[in-house]
Amino acid sequence: MCEIEGYQSQVAAYRNVIDDKGAQTIELKRENEALKAQLGQTSKGMPWDIGAFFYKGGQRASCNHNIEELGSAYESRIEKQIDEIEKLKQLLKEKEAQLQRQKMKFSRQLEDLRHKEAVTSPKTTDLEIKGKWTQLAFLIRQLVESHLDVAFDQTTVREVPVIPTFPAALQYQLQSSRLRPLILEAGVWHHLYFHIFRPHASHWGGPVGETFASAFQKISGIIKDTDSSKSQKSAMEEFHDWRTRSVGFAKLTTDAGFNLQAAANRFCETMVWPITGQSQAAGDDVTEIISLAAELDLILRSSKADFTVFITNLNLAGKPPNFWFPYDLNIMGFTHRLRPPHDIYEVDSAVIVDVAVTPGILKRGTADGKKYDNVMVLVKLEALCSEQTAYDGLKVPDQLTPQRQKSDRKKHNIKKEEIEDWRNEDVDLVAFPPRWK
């Protein structure tokens, strides 16, 4: 690609030189014709001042040579200019031919790459994806703890665009030093999901990427809606093979380059600077987060397995609003930073979630482009819900006897004082499903 751009620059430069030489030649011819006209007038006895035809540095040049010799000099200069133009035109033809050959070579390489990717597309293991996801979660948590949480002021709540999208009860929880970091993390993840990870996010490939994403979604839906037969499984495999190659083509377009700095600045203006001011350190951390998120997103999009990053749209029964939606607890993850009440054990199939802290990843099929009837939750959603909602959707056992309480503490390795501490805490949001330390 760089070679083609180099040839294009050379061709443009030669064309500019030819245009300049042509303009000079026209001017010389004009002056030569004027000189001949004056010469004709002189031969008829008309006085004239040849100095009028020469001007340099604001001074008229003196003319002491013969008019015929001057005319010959002009003719010689014109012929020389014409010769140079012809040589440049020949050189331009050669450069244009080289450019055309390079374009054909690039087209062949692109075609070879297309067939090669169709057979040997890169396979990133689930472990590598989960590792990058864990690293991204760590960077986001670090951003919140190092910059957002420490600088948070209640007066900034209305200035952060993402916060008004939270329910009023959740905005109130921002006053809690314990819950605020999780809610701010949710805001960061929501921005990444909306601008990078969701199916119609345009940043990963510009308008071209958005068009591809829309086409992928429609075709996939058509295949899934048909009867699940052997031929349809083959159609799904062929579709994902085409999808993978198409993502590779989208990367080659002029709009495919992900402008990391522009995306980072947009994120800072939306979420960070209203809280911290224009902090250079916070901006650097945001750039690192955006870069890793874009890298991970491209891995997910270009895999032959079908990955879906979900935060609000996994409930196929309807279209619940952001941060207030039902979820199957089988896809919900945990948070180490909030302990659930000690006396909650079994859960029903769904609860109402007030805020999703970290999105999850759903995987269909395998990296070799097969078995799309296999579905697994690669990364579980980390979510919070109100304590009252939790109790409405959970089976709470009868009053614990001291013996049973002791048995359960031993089972989950919980100290008695931890239970008392939890009961004394004034916390309305809890994390599900329970994870005991």
pLDDT at site 62: 45
Burial 359-396 (b: 16+ CB within 10 A, else e): bbbbbbbbeebbebeeeebbbbbbbbbbeebbeebbee
Q: Residue range 232-241: average pLDDT?
A: 76
CA distance 301 to 409: 44
List, in sequence order, every residue forming a beta bridge with 353; answer none if it has no partner. Answer: 325
- What is the distance, to the nearest Å, from the Cα of residue 378 to the centroid of all Cα atoms in its chain? 22
Angstrom distance (rounded) from CA 37 to CA 5: 48
Phi/psi at 326 (5° precision): -80, 145
Using a 10 angstrom Cβ sphere, with 0-12 exposed, 13-18 middle and 19 or more buried, the burial of residue 243 is: buried
pLDDT confidence of residue 134: 92
CB atoms within 10 A of CB 111: 10
For residue 137, the model assigns a pLDDT of 93
* Pick from 222, 253, 247: nearest CA to 235: 222
Return the amino acid letter for 240: H
Pairing of strands 360-364, 375-379: antiparallel
Is the distance from CB of 276 to CB of 148 less than 8 angstroms?
yes
Per-residue pLDDT tens over the stretch 68-126: 666 677 677 777 777 777 777 777 777 777 777 777 777 776 766 666 555 455 577 88
Backbone angles phi, psi at 296, to 5 degrees: -65, -40
Q: Which of 284-288, 332-336, 377-381 has the lowest mean pLDDT?
A: 332-336
Q: What number is the average pLDDT over the span 299-316?
A: 73
Where do runs of H (alpha helix) occur along 273-401? 273-276, 280-302, 387-392
Q: Which sign does the torsion angle of CA 52, 57, 58, 60 carry? A: negative
Tokens of 434: 């329970």
- Predicted TM-score (pTM) of the model is 0.58
Q: Which residue has the tokens 């001042």?
A: 49
* Exposed e or buried b per residue across 212-224, where buried means at least 16 C-beta atoms within 10 angstroms of its C-beta: bbeebeebbeebe
d(CA 40, CA 239) in angstroms, rounded, equals: 82
- What is the C-alpha separation between 414 and 289, in angstroms, rounded? 36
Residue 206 and residue 253 in contact, taking contact as beta carbons nearer than 8 Å? yes
- Give the tens place of pLDDT for each residue, 394-411: 443 343 333 334 444 444
Q: Which residue has the tokens 């659930």?
A: 340
Strands 55-56 and 350-353: unpaired
- Highest mean predicted confidence (pLDDT) among 28-42, 97-111, 200-214, 267-281: 267-281
What's residue 125's pLDDT? 87
| DSSP secondary structure code for residue 395 in this structure | E
Alpha carbon of 78 to those of 37, 72, 270, 437: distances in Å?
A: 17, 10, 64, 92
pLDDT for 315-367, tens place per residue?
333 333 334 455 555 566 655 555 444 444 444 445 556 677 888 888 888 88
Extents of the domains making up the chain: 2-119, 126-204+258-432
CA dihedral 308, 312, 314, 319 (to 10 degrees): -130
DSSP 36-100: HHHHHHHHTT----GGGG-EETTEEPP--S-HHHHHHHHHHHHHHHHHHHHHHHHHHHHHHHHHH
Neighbours of 421 (CB within 10 A): 11
Query: Given this model, what pLDDT does residue 435 score?
Result: 31
